[in-house]
Structure 1
Amino acid sequence: MSNEKYRIAVLGDQASVLGFKALGLDVYPAETVEAAREILHRLAKSDTAIIYLTEQLAQGLEPEIARYKDNLTPAIILIPGKGGSLGIGMANVKKSVERAVGTDIL
């Protein structure tokens, strides 16, 4: 068994991600898509296994998210931001389930 330790990061606007720090997750506030893009690439090259990303920032990072989609790590999981859900995260889950099962069961 490996002794490697992987990290879990949360990337999004400060108001949306700050609470995750209390859970022991690494928090990376970014107020712009450009800042988030830089942080996302840096995390992908590190020992980060899971990146929770707010849907609001994900809208501007579609090419970057697609780039990492088929990689084992990091897994990029979209979460609602302070403005609420945009439905993007659920749509991605639905697509993944359809791809795995062969039909829409959600």
Structure 2
Amino acid sequence: MDKIAVMGDYDSIYGFGALGMELFPTDEDEDPAGTLRRLAQSGYGIIYITEAVCLELAETIEEYRERVSPAIVPIPGISGDTKVGVDAVKRSVEQAVGSDILFSQN
């Protein structure tokens, strides 16, 4: 089984430790992009990242978008939902299907 990591501010991610996921707080991380690259190269199959950190690491995350592993999944942090996760899923579906499935014609 692949390892699962969670990156973000400590207050947003500490609860995931109880589920057996490895925590990587970015509060004092001087190089979160380097941390993400290290996790991707170290056998982590899923990396959950708070939406605030996703915005900060957009270019680095884009490097892994076409790869099967790791799956980088945005999650809301304690500051709330910024819709980064929904937008990422929407882009992936549009790319796979060739159409915006959330667009409704009235």
Unaligned runs of 5+ in 2: none
**Contact 1:32/1:57, CA 8 A, preserved across alignment:** no
1:38 positional shift = 2.2
Using structure 2 for the length normalisation, give the TM-score: 0.88
Q: Secondary structure at the match of 1:40?
A: helix
Give me the CA root mean square deviation.
1.4
Using structure 1 for the length normalisation, give the TM-score: 0.88
1:55 positional shift = 0.7
Tell me the equivalent position of 1:56: 52
C-alpha distance 34-62 of structure 1, shift in aligned 2 (>3 A): farther
Of the three residues 63, 82, 99, the one matched with 1:103 is 99
Which deviations, in whole Å up to 9, do the C-alpha atoms of 1:26-74 show, x marking residues without a partner? 1111116743212111101101011000110111111100111111211
C-alpha distance 63-98 of structure 1, shift in aligned 2 (>3 A): same
- Is 1:76 the counterpart of 2:37? The answer is no
| Paired positions, count | 102
Unaligned runs of 5+ in 1: none
Q: Which runs of 4+ in 1 moved over 2 A?
A: 32-35
Tell me the equivalent position of 2:38: 42
